[in-house]
């Protein structure tokens, strides 16, 4: 009997200890601070109709980022020089508190009164609406030159480390005699031509990421994309008025690096 009492006291004490150790949980649920209509986006231009644009999300309590076509800014406010005349749409993506949203704002650019980064003029020419056409720096038949070749993977530093001179030695790409055209006529337009006669073309768009030295092709393939990647993202090794060298650190076709060398038509 005495033992039973001791056991009962022990069990009661254990229950009290467990209850005392039970954590106090203050459940907090995320709540929206406003709705999408309440998110205010503001666009200003340093000159009327000019191409220096500032985008600002001014609603308190909202966080997110801007996608302004040339890149993304992980802030609520960004200022940039825009290269394309006409009406452009910019997108803000953020959170209301408990859910994500996207909202857009349109900006009309009537004049390119602020100079672009030199890379833009090198790629599309000084007449940005007319644009510029590029072809391979060699070929279209094997000619011993280095214009489309396998290189070491991993870094643009390896772009000229020739592993196999595919285009120059034996095996040019299917569009070796083709060309590609870049222009800013109302949008960042890209056109791929499979051959010099321009009988076969494919239209898309492009992004020139100057800060990260990337050229991104969408909706059409890069010249020589037999060795390209599906995402269309190429590293810029060099870009001048007279030559453009692009590089893949890991070609999906070959599993190696790959280098593309172009010159103006």
pLDDT in tens, 74-102: 999 999 999 999 999 999 999 998 899 99
199-221 mean pLDDT: 94
Per-residue DSSP letter, 77: E
β-sheet bridge partners, residue 72: 67
Distance CA 127, CA 63 (A): 38
Residue 56 included in any domain: yes
Instruction: Report yes or no: 215 and 225 within 8 Å, Cβ to Cβ.
Output: no
Residue 8 included in any domain: no
Q: What is the mean pLDDT of the chain?
A: 90
CATH code for the domain of 92: 2.60.40.10
β-pairing, 41-45 vs 244-248, is: unpaired
Residue at which a domain ends, from 65, 86, 109: 109
Q: Summarize pLDDT for 17-27 with one digit per residue, the tens.
A: 434 444 444 44
Q: Are residues 216 and 161 in the same domain?
A: yes
Token pair of 134 as six digits: 């590029």
Q: Domain residues for 193?
A: 118-264
CATH code for the domain of 255: 2.40.128.280
Residue 168's CB: how many other CB atoms inside 10 A?
20
Spell out the alpha helix ranges (H) of the chain: 2-20, 118-124
Distance CA 147, CA 172 (A): 9
Residue 136, classed as helix, strand or coil, is strand
Q: How confident is the model at residue 30 (pLDDT cuts 50, 70, 90)?
A: low
R_g (Cα) of the chain, nearest Å: 29
Q: Are residues 79 and 131 in the same domain?
A: no
Look-up: residue for tokens 């060298």? 245
Q: Are residues 61 and 90 in the same domain?
A: yes
Predicted confidence at residue 71, as pLDDT, reads: 83
Total tally of structural domains belonging to the chain: 2
pTM summary value:
0.82
Res. 246: pLDDT tops 60: yes
Q: Are residues 99 and 136 in the same domain?
A: no
Cα atoms in the 13 Å half-sphere on the side-chain side of 169: 7
Q: Summarize pLDDT for 104-152 with one digit per residue, the tens.
A: 999 999 999 999 999 999 999 999 999 999 999 999 999 999 999 999 9
205-232 mean pLDDT: 96
100-109 β-sheet, strand order: 72-73, 63-67, 86-95, 100-109
Residue at which a domain ends, from 64, 86, 109: 109
Residue at which a domain ends, from 56, 75, 109: 109
Token pair of 11 as six digits: 């069990």
Work out the percent of the chain whose per-residue pLDDT is above 90. 82
């Amino acid at each position: 009997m005495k033992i039973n009492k001791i056991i009962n006291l022990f069990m009661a004490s254990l229950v009290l200890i467990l209850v005392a150790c039970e954590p106090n949980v203050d459940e907090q649920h995320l709540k929206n601070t406003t709705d999408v209509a309440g998110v205010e986006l503001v666009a200003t231009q340093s000159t009327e109709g000019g191409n220096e644009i500032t985008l600002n999300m001014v609603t308190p309590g909202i966080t997110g980022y801007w996608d302004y076509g040339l890149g993304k800014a992980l802030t609520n406010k960004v200022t940039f020089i825009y290269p394309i005349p006409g009406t452009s749409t910019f997108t803000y993506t953020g959170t209301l508190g408990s859910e994500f949203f996207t909202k857009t704002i349109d900006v009309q650019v009537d004049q390119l009164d602020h100079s672009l980064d030199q890379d833009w003029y090198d790629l599309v020419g000084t007449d940005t609406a007319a644009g510029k056409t590029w072809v391979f720096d060699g070929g279209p038949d094997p000619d011993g030159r280095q214009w489309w070749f396998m290189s070491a993977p991993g870094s643009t530093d390896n772009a000229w480390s020739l592993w196999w001179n595919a285009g120059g030695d034996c095996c040019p790409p299917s569009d070796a005699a083709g060309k590609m055209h870049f222009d800013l006529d109302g949008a960042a337009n890209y056109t791929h031509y499979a051959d010099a006669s321009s009988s076969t073309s494919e239209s898309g768009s492009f992004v020139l990421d100057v800060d990260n030295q990337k050229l991104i092709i969408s909706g059409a393939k890069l010249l020589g994309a037999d060795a390209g990647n599906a995402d269309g993202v190429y590293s810029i090794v060099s870009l001048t008025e007279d030559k453009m060298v692009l590089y893949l650190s890991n070609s999906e076709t070959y599993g190696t690096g790959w280098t593309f060398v172009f010159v103006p038509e």
